[in-house]
Amino acid sequence: MKKYVIGFSALFFALIVTLAVTAKEEPKATPELMAVWFDFNGSPGQENIASQYSVDGDNSPECPTDETYLCEILAVPQTGSPNLPDLSTIQQSRFKSAP
- Count the residues in the chain: 99
Average pLDDT over residues 64-71: 86
CB neighbour class for 19 (10 Å; exposed up to 12, middle 13-18, buried from 19): exposed
Cβ 83 vs Cβ 52: under 8 Å: no
84-99: pLDDT as tens digits = 999 999 999 999 988 8
Query: Domain total for the chain?
Result: 1
Domain that holds residue 72: 36-96
CA distance linking residue 48 with residue 88, whole number of Å: 10
Task: Answer whether residue 23 is part of any domain.
Answer: no
20-63: pLDDT as tens digits = 666 666 665 555 679 999 999 999 999 999 999 999 988 888 88
Task: Answer whether residue 53 is part of any domain.
Answer: yes
Cα dist. 16→7, 9, 10, 20 in Å?
Answer: 14, 11, 10, 6
To the question of pTM greater than 0.75 for the whole model, the response is no
Cβ 83 vs Cβ 77: under 8 Å: yes
Cβ 96 vs Cβ 63: under 8 Å: yes
Cα dist. 4→9, 13, 20, 52, 86 in Å?
Answer: 8, 14, 24, 76, 65
Task: Answer whether residue 42 is part of any domain.
Answer: yes
